[in-house]
Amino acid sequence: MLRLFQTNEIRQVVELEGDWDFEPTDQDDHIPATYHYRMPVPGCWEMHPKLHTYRGKGVYRRTIHITEQTAVRLIFKGVSHTARVFFDGAEVAQHYNAYTPFTSRLITDVQAGEHEIVVMVDNSFHSDSKLHIANDYYTYGGLIRPVAIEYMQPVYIERLQFTPSYENGQWQASIAAVVTNTSSASAQVRLQGALGETPIRFDAVDIQAGETALIQTRGAFPDAQAWSNGSPNLYKLQVQLFKDGEQTASDDLIERVGFRTVTTANGRIQVNGEDIVLKGFNRHEDHPMVGASFPYQLMVQDMELMLEAGSNAVRTSHYPNDERFLDLCDERGIYVWEENHARGLDIEHMRDPKFQEQCLVCNREMVENHVNHPCIIIWGILNECASNTPEGREMYREQLEQIRGMDQSRPLTYATHHREHDICFDLADIISFNLYPQWYTDEDPGELVDRARGWAEELGGSGKPIIMSEFGGDGFYGMRDASRVRGTEERQADIIESNLAAYTSRPYISGMFIWQFCDCRVVEDLGWLFSRAGTQNSKGIVDKYRRPKLAFEVVKKYFEQK
Ligand code: ADA
């Protein structure tokens, strides 16, 4: 399942799920002669009994049958973490980063018959990989999110961007379509759209051979019902493409959208003009039975547990999430802070030009692919990176400007642990603190957050909303003891209680995200992670199998409070 709704009615899209051939290899540019494994796609190779801890290169292969001459394109929703894609031996795509989707180039003149798709995958940590490094979460290997083949026309709709606004007492939207003409002649393109039952008109345009055009329109939707946490109203936005005066559409694209505004004013965050308080979890896409490759059922299970705990928000720490999970958040009315992929990187690491380059690509792919989800109300970047140095500040500035250039309809933030040494508060719309009072320090959560507010006020963040983006402590599932020592479920519950009591009683706090929803696997070979008993981050409110710990009921008590 690629998405929770059908994305095309005209263009044919076929998911390539099921077993692919697989072979681990230690060579670059190597297409194996024989494959010894069958590997489910989507899936992580760590789920195979012989590959539990395999880190390195692996080659996937499968054949497909094409019934008549056509053009095709391959879609990969996530390959962890580096991919080179070959169609009948010709390279058609390269991609770095597990957590953003990509497509191959258009492959034309594909004849009827059998064709071979090969994907070389690498999840090793090497000097060119600046975002995937040994870290406090696990970088799995493989085709971890769905793969599909699209049967394409030479002129096609690349993507849609829907931006709602509320003006003069009614809902409006600007709708942009990116259309590509890969043919060798100029094409006259007419788009026809509909939002639910309401038609949407675009001007006809000529697109030169080999060019891409941005076709934009604006419309009023007086009958639209707003999307919000309480009423997550969604609309089907369909755009069809008619070429050179033809009466039959040759291509289409469907998005599912919602009408809502997100603003920040008076030190608070508003959705549709009303102040909100985000109560939720940081969530890693990680599960012992599937690694990072979630089937829909397990996404729903996580969602139900988060709702059961009374939450209304989730932070996709520390990377863009599977689109089906975002679809689910759209449907359930869960507010999402989606963030780019970068966790805890210091200035020495960031200084390598590849770092900024890889972040900029990740930001672009995240926004282009996820911009239509009404659930996403905040974009985040660079968790706990060098926002305390002038050199780091330049990279924060460039990345935030890049995202603002693509989407002005959402506030931006980053989570910092630099306290009064942070020098980037002026760059963001929301100030977000990762502080771990009662766990990494003995500080009182209430006193600390009052001090944090002072840092924001004095250091460029005056009048901006404040979110406590991470707090929590270890709780080993089943370790219960009347002494309430560190690591017991009791102590974890105490820590969560004192933090939530402080944040829910301070009206200037606009959000709180517990670290973390579930325990997650971490990379083994890091000196500083020796404190991660069981090679996992155990600060989950549920354990890795989603069994609630004592803290679950504490969370529920505070999150359900009005
Ligand atoms: C950090 C970080 C998280 C996690 C957490 C912890 O603040 O952002 O990814 O590592 O601390 O458990 O210490």
- Within a domain: residue 381? yes
Q: Do 550 and 506 form a contact (C-beta atoms < 8 A)?
A: no
Q: Which two tokens stand for residue 45?
A: 């190779």
Average pLDDT for 112-120: 98
- CA of 516 relative to ligand 1 center, distance in Å: 9
Q: Is the pLDDT of residue 530 over 70?
A: no
- Within a domain: residue 389? yes
Pair (194, 238) in one structural domain: yes
Measured torsion, CA atoms of residues 66, 72, 77, 80, in degrees rounded to the nearest 10: 80
Closest Cα to atom 5 of ligand 1: 515
Pair (88, 113) in one structural domain: yes
Number of structural domains, the chain? 3
Domain's final residue, options 258, 275, 303: 258
Average pLDDT for 229-236: 97
Supply the CATH number for residue 469's domain: 3.20.20.80
Which residues span the domain enclosing 165? Answer: 155-258
* CA–CA distance, 434 with 151 (Å, rounded to integer): 46
- CA of 465 relative to ligand 1 center, distance in Å: 22
Q: Is the pLDDT of residue 526 over 70?
A: no
Pair (283, 373) in one structural domain: yes
Is the shortest distance between the CB of 286 and ligand 1 below 6 Å? no
Residue 538 CB-density burial (10 A; 0-12 exposed, 13-18 middle, 19+ buried): buried
- Within a domain: residue 1? no
Is the shortest distance between the CB of 494 and ligand 1 below 6 Å? no
Residue 151 is which amino acid? Y
pLDDT for the residue 527: 67
Per-residue pLDDT tens for 303-322? 999 999 999 999 999 999 99
- CA of 437 relative to ligand 1 center, distance in Å: 13
Q: Which atom of ligand 1 is nearest to the CA of 439?
A: 13
Per-residue pLDDT tens for 323-379? 999 999 999 999 999 999 999 999 999 999 999 999 999 999 999 999 999 999 999
Residue 490 is which amino acid? E
Pair (216, 175) in one structural domain: yes
pLDDT for the residue 562: 76
Residue of 418, 434, 492 to test ligand 1 pocket, by largest number of atoms within 8 Å of CB: 434
Q: What distance lies between CA 285 and its chain's CA centroid?
A: 10
- CA of 541 relative to ligand 1 center, distance in Å: 14
Per-residue pLDDT tens for 179-204? 999 999 999 999 999 999 999 999 99
- Within a domain: residue 364? yes
Pair (102, 231) in one structural domain: no
- Within a domain: residue 11? no
Q: Which H/E stretch holds residue 276?
A: strand 274-276
Q: Which two tokens stand for residue 219?
A: 């419309």
Pair (430, 303) in one structural domain: yes
Supply the CATH number for residue 102's domain: 2.60.120.260
User: Which of these, 14, 7, 11, 8, lies nearest to 250 by C-alpha position?
Assistant: 11
- Around Cβ 543, how many Cβ atoms within 10 Å? 19
pLDDT for the residue 525: 73
- Within a domain: residue 225? yes
Q: Do 124 and 57 form a contact (C-beta atoms < 8 A)?
A: yes
Q: Which atom of ligand 1 is nearest to the CA of 434?
A: 7
Q: Is the peptide bond before 42 cis (omega within 30 degrees of 0)?
A: yes
Pair (313, 433) in one structural domain: yes
Q: Do 340 and 320 form a contact (C-beta atoms < 8 A)?
A: yes
Q: Is the pLDDT of residue 420 over 70?
A: yes
Q: Which atom of ligand 1 is nearest to the CA of 317?
A: 9
Q: Which H/E stretch holds residue 182?
A: none
Average pLDDT for 111-116: 98
Is the shortest distance between the CB of 383 and ligand 1 below 6 Å? yes
Pair (250, 389) in one structural domain: no
* CA–CA distance, 59 with 198 (Å, rounded to integer): 47
- CA of 537 relative to ligand 1 center, distance in Å: 9
Domain's final residue, options 226, 258, 290: 258
Q: Is the pLDDT of residue 206 over 90?
A: yes
Pair (254, 268) in one structural domain: no
- Within a domain: residue 13? no
Is the shortest distance between the CB of 312 and ligand 1 below 6 Å? no
Pair (399, 349) in one structural domain: yes
Residue of 133, 135, 136, 414 to test ligand 1 pocket, by largest number of atoms within 8 Å of CB: 136
Q: Is the ipTM of this complex over 0.95?
A: yes
Residue of 282, 381, 515 to test ligand 1 pocket, by largest number of atoms within 8 Å of CB: 515
Closest Cα to atom 9 of ligand 1: 136
Give the percent of the chain with pLDDT over 90.
97
Pair (429, 309) in one structural domain: yes
Per-residue pLDDT tens for 395-409? 999 999 999 999 999
Closest Cα to atom 4 of ligand 1: 136
Pair (274, 250) in one structural domain: no
Average pLDDT for 540-544: 98
* CA–CA distance, 455 with 466 (Å, rounded to integer): 11
Is the shortest distance between the CB of 516 and ligand 1 below 6 Å? no
